[in-house]
A and B are shown apart, each in its own frame.
Chain A
């Protein structure tokens, strides 16, 4: 029995120094529960995975749009151009606010440019055949862009390197250091509670 006790005491030493960072030797060792660390790692992995997935989706979507556009262009004869002066991908007609000029479309390629621009819905019809031009904005390409942007922000600010901590940990410290000490945040009674007459 005494041997076991000594062994146990010895174990505690080295493991605590491993947990705390080298620079803060004066501080008590950090206690990090396995569950919390596991959760944090999983969330990070998920975030990065999601961002990569969305990026792939966006590229796929772009490729699909380009293919569709080329297919359309093949099918439609050029007389349509006089009737419908704009094709999906070129700048929209001036609306109440004026829009970016045609120079926009050239460097980036039609499909990609088209995704970000709103084209007016125009109905070609009558003898030349029926078709409708649709606003590519409604095809949620803009939504994909926005998702990518938000994912970037999330990964940068809340990703693996960000050193974030749960609100419980963060504010429980404050509660303990306040002039009027309070319980750790997660234990604060949130229910309507028992109303008792105080003495």
Chain B
């Protein structure tokens, strides 16, 4: 699930309040509550202390403390409908960069520059102020306390800009232990619930684990020891979290890494593998199949490209010369500070639609020779909630808009450039969550819609009635599509399972039952990223084309399914075998990992497959600078 961003809303801190409510605060000085059902900001309140650097909830989630630019620590109450200012705690000079509540909610530790303080929550007084400076002759820099944690035993843990993680006895004002883990700043730290393990993130992209271990075998005295170093990131790690089984880190390199702790994992399984997430698991590229156009969605603009073409043919592995180069036809800038949430281009290329958190925009495109003209559709219906997904019908006559509370709006597109609201489809027994995936059938008869509660509803578009619901499965749907000939709905779930459901017959197909009985190959189930797009081959009805971030696959239903003993990635082996031997080893999954990371793959009309790669290096070069890393032999 994604909550779209906003130009002026920097998020420096996030925390959960009572009742599963999500709050964020940032340099704009506001505390924002996010509506998780509608996936957008529901209300905002100015903190009153300038930019907010940190925010933490007490143990019951009923109070939020914020650390501000002006050096104040303020308390807010979480009330129904929003938050309410409660009072100021003692304010001192120096921006409060980090905050931590003591688990008993009686004290708050606040980190600043060259010092941290411990405040008594009841009286608001500063009970202790401890200097955290770096006493080395040549160095005259200030010491920034980037993160802080308050343990139940009364120890305060700080991490600072000199690469140190320090443990303090705040009542006595003494330093108990000091560990220098890096020459660069330690920007983030998180403590496990049992308070026996800490994870810290540094500017170099390295993360470290600290564990509370007995000094000697069987000894009661324990010390904090830096145990495991990790280098999963290339850029600063400004956010870390510690779950009961894993260390989680988020870097400026746009990667989220989940590193399971081996001693917490019972068996070698999916849960034991390192997981790295770089790309969103939702559609950012849409394709106008008939017009050979691609629409790329960025956070504040859209780009429309026409694909190149060639008249040549060649053999496997050759790169053919282009007769016409790809063309950047159009750049459409979104108005206002809100980020674009979803976008789509119609198959004929004549319409482009996009939506932000508050507004929906529709444009008509005209092609004259090599040129293109664009006109905004003036009276596009104002929707009460944002569009979470947009999908044009295959004949480009309607636009389906995924909306809140399980509903889908059907808009009719009118020539020469207008649209009107036809109908709103709603699930029969209501739904509190928004629809996030849509799949129309090629014949315009059916529409499948998946809402946040993971239920797939199928609607009959001829009479605008609910047709049926696919049997529930305990996993999120990552992609779905309706076969143009058979009207079978192919579903990919986030646990990598695949199902095929016949819409006319309202039941799973025989092939789907076979897949479930045989089980999918281990190599398929252990893939890192979910299937984000499913499409079909107009020339071969038994083909299903699917892709995730690191591979695309042509699934041939007419071939046997591989069992675990067979090699899943067998394409290169098959190529080397003689024709007769090949027949015996063929199986249904034809996987290609040549292009990665993949944002999109689709079949155009004809013999063409379009594949969109987004090289990670292209992204990393545009990021803020990384810290110099010394390597031997360079």
User: Which A residues are within 8 Å of any B CB, using their own CB?
Assistant: 24, 26-28, 96-101, 103-104, 107-108, 113, 116-118, 142, 145-146, 148-150, 152, 156-158, 161-171, 173, 177, 185, 188, 192, 195-198
* 13 contacting pairs across A/B (C-beta < 8 A): A28-B634, A97-B44, A100-B74, A117-B46, A145-B50, A149-B53, A152-B95, A158-B624, A162-B203, A162-B627, A164-B625, A192-B326, A196-B319
Least Cβ–Cβ distance between A76 and chain B, in angstroms: 25
Least Cβ–Cβ distance between B542 and chain A, in angstroms: 32
- Rounded to whole angstroms, the CA-CA distance of A159 and B582 in the bound complex is 61
Whether A98 contacts B84 in the complex (CB less than 8 A), given A116-B50, A146-B28, A171-B617, comes out as yes
Whether A157 contacts B617 in the complex (CB less than 8 A), given A117-B48, A163-B628, comes out as no
Asked whether B51 lies within 8 Å of A27 as measured between CB atoms, the reply is no
Asked whether B27 lies within 8 Å of A149 as measured between CB atoms, the reply is yes
Asked whether B627 lies within 8 Å of A171 as measured between CB atoms, the reply is no
Query: Chain B residues with Cβ under 8 A from A157's Cβ?
Result: 185, 203, 236, 624
Q: Is B297 an interface residue (CB 8 A)?
A: no
Q: Taking CB as reference atom, which chain A residue is nearest B634? A: A173
User: What are the 8 closest A-B residue pairs judged by CB atoms, nearest first?
Assistant: A164-B625, A149-B51, A100-B48, A100-B85, A165-B628, A97-B45, A97-B82, A98-B84
Whether A164 contacts B82 in the complex (CB less than 8 A), given A108-B70, A149-B50, A185-B621, comes out as no
Considering only CB atoms and an 8 Å cut-off, how many residues of chain B contact the other chain?
57
Residues 574-620 of B at the A interface (beta carbon under 8 Å): 617, 620
Query: Chain B residues with Cβ under 8 A from A185's Cβ?
Result: 617, 621
- Which of B236, B320, B625, B627 lies in contact with A195, CB distance below 8 A? B320
- Rounded to whole angstroms, the CA-CA distance of A150 and B183 in the bound complex is 23
Query: Chain B residues with Cβ under 8 A from A168's Cβ?
Result: 621
Q: Taking CB as reference atom, which chain A residue is nearest B69? A: A149
Least Cβ–Cβ distance between A127 and chain B, in angstroms: 34
Interface residues of chain A: helix, strand, loop or mixed (majority): helix
Q: Taking CB as reference atom, which chain B residue is nearest A172? A: B634
- Which of A146, A166, A188, A196 lies in contact with B51, CB distance below 8 A? A146
Least Cβ–Cβ distance between A62 and chain B, in angstroms: 12
Q: Is B262 an interface residue (CB 8 A)?
A: no
Query: Chain A residues with Cβ under 8 A from B496's Cβ?
Result: none
Least Cβ–Cβ distance between B73 and chain A, in angstroms: 13
20 extra interchain contacts, Cβ-Cβ under 8 A, other than A100-B74, A185-B617? A27-B632, A98-B82, A98-B85, A99-B45, A103-B87, A148-B51, A149-B51, A150-B27, A156-B144, A156-B185, A163-B628, A166-B625, A170-B234, A171-B234, A188-B617, A195-B320, A195-B321, A196-B321, A197-B314, A198-B319
- Which of A113, A167, A195 lies in contact with B623, CB distance below 8 A? A167
Q: Taking CB as reference atom, which chain A residue is nearest B141? A: A161
Whether A96 contacts B623 in the complex (CB less than 8 A), given A117-B48, A163-B183, comes out as no
- Rounded to whole angstroms, the CA-CA distance of A107 and B87 in the bound complex is 13
Using an 8 Å CB-CB cutoff, how does the interface string of B27-53 with A read, 1 for contact, 0 for none?
Answer: 111000000000000011111111101
